[in-house]
Structure 1
Amino acid sequence: MKLYGLKTCDTCRKALKSLPAADFVDVRKDGVPADVMEQAYAQFPDTLLNTRSTTWRGLSDEERARPPLELVAEHPSLMKRPLIEAEGRLFLGWNAEVKSALGVA
């Protein structure tokens, strides 16, 4: 299991604490493999970008119009977090539905 996120993100830290066996990948430092990002975008096209983030608010309208995968590659903090890869499946965020699917109380 891999957990893609930011080490400074409170939600990512909570998820990692609940999933101690997960390998943590800091998206700012190590990035997310292109194939994983493409799969994530295909599965979560409307929610992959965190449009409530400070980074998003700092982008110009021109930048916001760029393809989402380009934006996330350039600004990793724009990705909604965490992105969890487990047994060939992807999960986005850390909510009750994701916790249930991963068997976390």
Structure 2
Amino acid sequence: MTLYGLKTCDTCRKALKSLDKVEFRDIRSDGIPPDVLKSAYAALGDELVNRRSTTWRGLSHDARAADPLTLLAEHPTLMKRPLITDGTRFFLGWGKDVQADLMR
């Protein structure tokens, strides 16, 4: 299982602490592999882009209109966090629904 997030994100830290045998990848320093990004976007759609983030608010209107995959590749901190994958499924965030699915 792999968790994509930020090492400074409290929610990502909570998820890391709760999950066993999870590999952490910091999206700020490592980015998101293009194949993972495409698969996650195919599974989750526009939900993957955090339109309430500081990064989003700092983008120009024209930049916001760009393709979401391009935006996420250029600005990985636009991604809602954490993004967790077990290789076939994707989970976004650390809400009770995600916790229930992953803590079984």
TM range (shorter): over 0.9
1:35 is aligned to 35
Structure 2: gaps (5+ residues): none
Question: TM-score, structure 2 length as denominator?
Answer: 0.95
2:60 is aligned to 60
Q: 1:87 to 1:45 in 2, by over 3 A?
A: closer
Aligned residue pairs total 104
The structure with more helix, counted as a fraction of residues: 2
The structural deviation recorded for 1:5 is 0.3
Percent of aligned positions that are identical = 62
SS in 2 for 1:94: coil
- CA RMSD between the two structures: 1.1
The ranges of structure 1 where at least 4 consecutive aligned residues each deviate by more than 6 angstroms after the TM superposition are: none
Matched, 1:79 2:86: no
Supply the distance in 2 between the matched residues of 1:33 and 1:87 (Cα, whole angstroms).
13
SS in 2 for 1:91: strand
1:96 is aligned to 96
Q: 1:72 to 1:12 in 2, by over 3 A?
A: same
Conserved 8 A contact 2:19-2:103: no
